Amino acid sequence: MRRSIACLLLFTLVLPGLEAAQPVRARKAMVVSRESNATDAGVAVLKAGGNAIDAAAAVGFALAVTHPSAGNLGGGGFMLVRFADGRTTFIDFRERAPLTATRDMYLDKDGNPTRDSLTGWRASGVPGTARGLEYAQRKYGKAKWADVVAPSVKLAREGFTVTYGLANGLKGAKNMAQFPESKRIFQKNGAFHNAGDKLVQPELAGVLERIQKSGARDFYEGETARIFADQMAKNGGAITAEDLKQYTVSERKTLEGNFRGYKVITAPPPSSGGIGILQMLAVLEKTGYEKAGAGSAQAIHYTAEAMRRYYADRATHLGDPDFWTVPVSKLLSPNYVNKLRASINPDKATNSDDVKAGDLRTMESTETTHYSIVDAEGNCVAVTYTLNGSYGSGVTVPGLGFLLNNEMDDFSVKPGVPNMFGAIGGEANAIAPRKRPLSSMAPTIVLKDGKPFLVVGTPGGTRILTSVMEVIQNVIDFKMNIQDAVNFPRFHHQWRPDKLQMEPTFSPDTVKLLEQRGHKIDIVRNICEIAAIEFQDNGWLAGAADPRVEGKAAGY
């Protein structure tokens, strides 16, 4: 039955004469997030006179309560802002490696990777969310800090209703079951939460109340920091009080490019997402791939080949720009893009063994969450933040109530060996103290005729950038409204492993044609969960939450 409904959705999108799926529309402002309470928190802040940056902080703190698999105080992320006056900025509050981190810290005596980068106290980088949200709000918001944090405090202290999806997610989180505090809070010591139950988190409420009163300083230098560092030391973790005290946010210049006359504003390194979106769109622009139509074998083939080539470059050339010179201009240069495009056979898949990272020496210059916000002034914010894996490392800090990330696995634990997402990294992304691991997060804003047109992003590990790109393609090249663009089935290729991942709602005939071209197909469910906003020509805002999850778009 579920597959039949999904197939009907696909047919509704592609057959002429049938009504398209409709987004949520609003005149002034819009918030789209993964979870309804968080969306409502953002809308409430906007209605009270706050701007999009205030709302972004409110949504971020609320998700730390209501979406424990990815919303977080124990993780980090990126915020992309396009102000109403045309200025842009990128706020990097990605986690950092502890001061005691070493290149080989997750290798056993034989040089093989252990699982310590995935599960347990040693898997975590220094969290950045509290300081990142505060940095953005203090510098660019206009509401009172206490009012921005207040919705999350109430949700944690008084509780919220557990949804069907959250109940199933908590029950299935095996990584939490081995840690007593996580099992107690999130799994009722094995009794589990049911849909309709109320989840109350008093320890987390205490942390949020201290942040509300004293700011992020409490998390990094106050009572929360003291408890955090003590528990790390007791449990063999690497993060110390000095790590917390030294954590800083980086504000960076946005990465920008053009696609068919639209300007694409996106995430710079240490994100690999923004540069990948720009390179892949540039490769596709002159192929004519779009003429065969959305969901066609031809369109998917060309797009997958562009993906394959970028991920080979990603493995070699991308890392934290504070530690590694990332050749951004070379990777996006017209000469190099032309070379990549020319290497695509229009009728046959390239074997990934034959695709290598570009030699640029002679060239010219799983779980994450995303939310998109537009305010009445025209400020646009796209935020993607994460614990890395679902429920992070599985560890909840006793006395504090928040889960820790397992972001250290996003480094190249051993160059050439795949991480939890199957992505291969090299020397550029090797572990070093204070270094930020490479990320795929790609909050993106698209302009049309110099004005905001799309605000879009998603969680999903290495599949983030390909999913964001496909939504942009669906709107610009395939003329879909934003809800149809979000609903449409997605696919993904990342060079290694040499598989074309496709959602099950694609036509079996299309899959067969791709196999005949040499693509190795892997059918997977629910590739990412987009949160997007479109500025329509009639002056309305259109918000699209992804039907793959329990998201919500709301505005006024």
Domains in the chain with CATH codes = 2-25+252-367+440-555 (3.60.20.40), 37-249+369-429 (no CATH)
Reply yes or no on whether the pLDDT at 511 is more than 70: yes
Give the model confidence (pLDDT) of 76-111 as tens digits: 999 999 999 999 999 999 999 999 999 999 999 999
359 band by pLDDT with thresholds 50, 70 and 90: low
Reply yes or no on whether the pLDDT at 302 is more than 60: yes
Reply yes or no on whether the pLDDT at 362 is more than 60: no
For the chain, what is the radius of gyration of the CA atoms?
22
Torsions phi, psi for 69 (to 5 deg): -70, -20
Give the model confidence (pLDDT) of 419-452 as tens digits: 665 666 578 889 999 999 999 999 999 999 999 9
* Average pLDDT rounded to a whole number, residues 341-369: 76
Q: Specify the pLDDT at position 422.
A: 60
The stretches of 291-438 forming alpha helices (DSSP H) are: 297-317, 328-331, 334-342
Query: CB 198: neighbour CB atoms within 10 A?
Result: 10
* Average pLDDT rounded to a whole number, residues 447-470: 96
10 or 376, greater pLDDT: 376
19 band by pLDDT with thresholds 50, 70 and 90: low
Reply yes or no on whether the pLDDT at 415 is more than 90: no
Catalytic residues, which ones? 368
CA 90, 93, 99, 102 torsion-angle sign: negative
Task: Name the pTM for this structure.
Answer: 0.93
Residues 6+ apart with CB under 8 A from 431: 97, 101, 102, 103, 104, 105, 106, 408, 411, 412, 413
8 band by pLDDT with thresholds 50, 70 and 90: very low
Identity (one letter) of the amino acid at 144? K
Q: Specify the pLDDT at position 58.
A: 98
2 or 412, greater pLDDT: 412
Farthest CA pair distance, the chain: 64
